[in-house]
Chain A
Amino acid sequence: MLEARLPQAKLLKSLLEAIKELVVECNFDCNDSGIAVQAMDSSHVALVALLLRADGFDPYRCDRNLPLGINLTSLNKILKCAGNEDILTIKASDDGDVLNLVFESKDSDRISEYELKLMDIDSEHLGIPDTQYDAVVSMSSGEFQRICRDLSQISDSIVIDVTKEGIKFSASGEVGNGSVTLKQSGSVDREDEATTIELQQAVSLTFSLKYFQYFTKATPLSSRVVLSMSNDVPILVEYKLDNLGYVRYYLAPKIGD
């Protein structure tokens, strides 16, 4: 069986916001080390990988592998019934077909209990190799969100060029073109806004902006985002969750003309 408790329901709400535009239904794979999700979007262009480590919950108990097939639209409906500051406990039995969710107000004078129907989901699991990327850029997640939003006014594609000088995002469309360059910043007072670049070799990649805009739904989860890139392979866009795990998105590039 599974029992996992989070001090704030807000976290699960935010995680759901971060993936529900991409994925409609997926398995939450629970085992003794934590809860993992891997799912592709319906067009098989992007993949989301989520990890919530057991030690991020208090308490956490799961004694065997338990795949929980969840429709995210349905889960979202139930999570709307939770207060952001509520203590959240999820429970599932080994052979059950429901997920129990308990929302408890901080002073414990209001307890609400919901059951979400689970489903059998036959999903393909992909092996993601450990990759040494040619360019790894760490930047403000809010800045990344703004760049994606701004350049989506110009085009539905974005070109990312990384050199040792900086990272340049550019778009070209019917109205004209635009670009935003962030220079590597060594001496920024506010650490959250610094841009750091680890570069083995320069990269230039083109992506669909629509997916980046889905990814930036994860912005409330972390002040930083890390973009890992090599030419002609999927970009990894990672938001780290404090003491809990991560949300990673992989997006296949556009190639050639």
Chain B
Amino acid sequence: IGTQRSIDTFFDPT
């Protein structure tokens, strides 16, 4: 069900 998103598309590198 649905496409798994990546966590690093939500949080930016510091």
Chain A residues engaging chain B, CB cutoff 8 angstroms: 40, 43-47, 124-129, 155, 157, 159, 172, 206, 208, 233-234, 250-257
**B7–A127 touching, CB < 8 Å:** no
Q: Do the beta carbons of B11 and A128 come within 8 Å of each other?
A: yes
Contact among A40, A46, A47, A257 for B1, CB-based, below 8 A: A257
Q: Say yes or no: A206 contacts B1, CB within 8 Å.
A: yes
How many chain-B residues does the 8 Å CB contact rule pick out? Answer: 14
A sample of 6 inter-chain contacts (CB < 8 A) reads: A47-B11, A126-B8, A126-B11, A252-B10, A254-B4, A256-B2
Can you name the residue of chain B whose Cβ is closest to the Cβ of A173? B1
CA distance A254 to B6 in the complex (A): 9
Report yes or no: B2 in contact with A157, Cβ–Cβ below 8 A.
yes
The CA of A157 and the CA of B9, in the complex, are separated in Å by: 20
Could you tell me if B10 and A255 are in contact, using CB atoms closer than 8 angstroms? no
With a cutoff of 8 Å between Cβ atoms, the chain B residues found around residue A124 in the complex are: 8, 13
Which residue from chain A places its CB closest to the CB of B11 in the assembled complex?
A126
The reply to whether B2 and A40 contact each other, CB–CB distance below 8 Å, is no
Is B1 touching A157 in the complex (CB atoms < 8 A)? yes
Chain A neighbourhood of B5, CB < 8 A: 45, 252-255
Q: Which residues of A contact B2 (CB under 8 A)?
A: 157, 206, 253-257
A233:B1 contact, CB within 8 angstroms: no
Residue of A nearest to B1 (CB): A157
